[in-house]
Structure 1
Amino acid sequence: MRSMTALVMMATAAVPAVAAAQVQVPTAMVVPDGTVLDVMATGRTTRTPDVATVRAGVVTQDATAATALSQNAQRMAAVIRALKAAGIADRDIATSNVGLSPQYRYADNQPPVITGYQASNTVSVTFRDVKKAGPVLDALVRSGANQVDGPAMSLADPDAALDEARSDAVARARARATLYARAAGLNVARIVSIEEAGENDGGRPQPPVMMRVSAMAQRDSSTVVMAGETDVTATVRVRFLLK
């Protein structure tokens, strides 16, 4: 009885090991009856950006760090008030950088000497109406902002445009596969697999046009921000079976 019990226990203990070994065995790849063709294609569609993001801030300098920070805080508070007065919601104003760094004077064969401190505070501002970006930037400068970067254009809802680009990518892949099949004296039998290989939701377009009208030429000059157009793209890798 003891021998039979030992044998049963050994058989039971061996089952998980066998199962684990079976899981680790790779499945053999099934080779289709025909010629396999892999095609990578990028589809695209064009949209006009409807969101602009700008970084605006204040840079101040003083002999002491405390004074530089204090002056910076006062001017930045005025910038925030100007943004809210222009109708920018709190959710569209986000602090992106706060910094304080010493300023040095360098001379030959001498150690650097601290001459003062520079304080900076930058906010990222999202404009959900691109046309309002220019006038608001002017208001920011009047309120004390002395550093402006951008704008970066994007789409508020890129999903529909991305779907168009995906459909275009598959159509381009099929057209290319048909071309190769005809050149080889074959026909496209079916699609074996489709894999997404990347996308651009319109948030990385070419730099938009931003210009300042000369105050000498026009008294009521203002900053003009032009949205232009952006490409929304999707790339797919499609495997075809040719016969």
Structure 2
Amino acid sequence: MFFSGRQFAAAAFVALPLVASPALAQESAMSAPVATISVAAEGTASVAPDMAIVSLAVVSRAETAEAAMTDNNQSMQKVLDALKASGIAAKDIQTDNFSINPQYKQVTSDDGSESRVIDGYQVVNGLDVTVRALDNLGAVLDQSVKLGVNSGGNITFTNADPSAAQEAARKQAVAKAMAKAKTLADAAGVSLGNVLAISEGGSAPQPLLRTASFAMKDMGSVPIATGENDYDVTVNMTFAIGQ
């Protein structure tokens, strides 16, 4: 049978939709929204600390700034020498703050007016000290106070390498998230499909560090209780709902 050019074009036009229809159906199926279940869960791992960061400060006061500085320098040098003698490395001793400030008092003039006048100067020299041998912490604190430390006293217990605890917390968080997703799927009467997305909440696992403090006066031996540090990790997971 012979077709004219116009008849052939019409036949081709009619056939094209029939040829393209499987591709259109596939594209439509791919663009259909996927039913999902999204959950979040937290994992926690506890580990005993193996180091401490202690804040110590020497505060000196005198009539002149020079006298206050001299007194402070002498006391702080004794503290630094004692810390190094106890085995603390120079890299673990860092100046945290240093300040020189006038101290004022309120005075009343003969005419009854009040004004503030300088009544001496105060010098503060603070340190952050990392103590890696916790058994030596009490002795370090005791000796520091005896040599002139009279302010500070906050202690943060931490870990040099918390990666093992963080990994355990991650695994626990993922296991909890998967169990939660399965519970939701079972309750809804659907099956749980593949994991579509997983992410860790926050920028990095953050520890709940133990802190303590000690008094600066009437100290004998300093008792220290280190406890444990908790490392928390949050994960977010998205699962497909199976058919």
> Shorter-chain-normalised TM-score: which range?
0.7 to 0.9
Q: TM-score, normalised by structure 2?
A: 0.79
Change beyond 3 A, Cα 1:225–1:210: farther
**Aligned pair count?**
208
Task: Say what the alpha-carbon RMSD is for the aligned residues.
Answer: 2.2
Are 1:213 and 1:222, in contact at CA under 8 Å, matched by a contact in 2? no
Kindly state the Cα deviation for residue 226 of structure 1 after the two structures are TM-superposed. 1.4
Are 1:239 and 2:238 counterparts?
A: yes
CA distance in 1, matches of 2:209, 2:56: 21
CA drift at 1:210: 5.6
**TM superposition score normalised by structure 1:** 0.79
Secondary structure of 1:68's match?
helix
Tell me the residue number matched to 2:175.
171
Out of 128, 132, 137, the position equivalent to 2:136 is 132
Q: What residue identity is the alignment partner of 2:67? A: T
Contact 2:59/2:150, CA 8 A, preserved across alignment: yes
Counterpart of 1:116, as a letter, is G
Check whether the contact 1:211–1:223 (CA below 8 A) recurs between aligned residues. Answer: no
Instruction: Report SS of the residue matched to 2:224.
Output: strand
1:146 CA displacement: 1.0
Aligned residue number for residue 39 of structure 1:
39
Unaligned runs of 5+ in 1: 1-29, 216-220
Q: Greater CA radius of gyration, 1 or 2?
A: 2
Contact 1:165 1:232 in 2 (8 A): yes
1:154 aligns with 2:153: no
Are 1:49 and 2:49 counterparts? Answer: yes
Q: 2:125: which partner in 1?
A: 121
What do residues 80-105 of structure 1 show as CA deviations (whole Å, max 9, x unaligned)? 01101111111111111111111111
5 Å matches for 1:1-243?
34-106=34-106, 110-198=114-202, 199-202=204-207, 204-208=208-212, 221-243=220-242
Q: Can you give the 5+ residue segments of structure 2 that lack an aligned partner in the other structure?
A: 1-29
**CA deviation string 1:19-66 (max 9, x = no partner):** xxxxxxxxxxx7676421211111111100111000112100011111
Does the 8 A contact of 2:38 with 2:237 survive in 1?
Answer: yes
Deviating more after overlay: 140-149 vs 61-70: 140-149
Instruction: State how far apart, in whole Å, the 2-side matches of 1:32 and 1:170 are.
Output: 28
Please tell me the residue identity of whatever aligns with 2:43. Answer: G
Query: CA contact under 8 A between 2:150 and 2:216: conserved in structure 1?
Result: no
**Percent pairwise identity:** 35
**Alignment partners' CA distance in 1, 2:61 and 2:210:** 34
Partner SS, residue 223 of structure 1: coil
Whole-angstrom CA distance in 2 between matches of 1:121 and 1:212: 16
Q: Tell me by how many angstroms 1:194 deviates.
A: 0.6
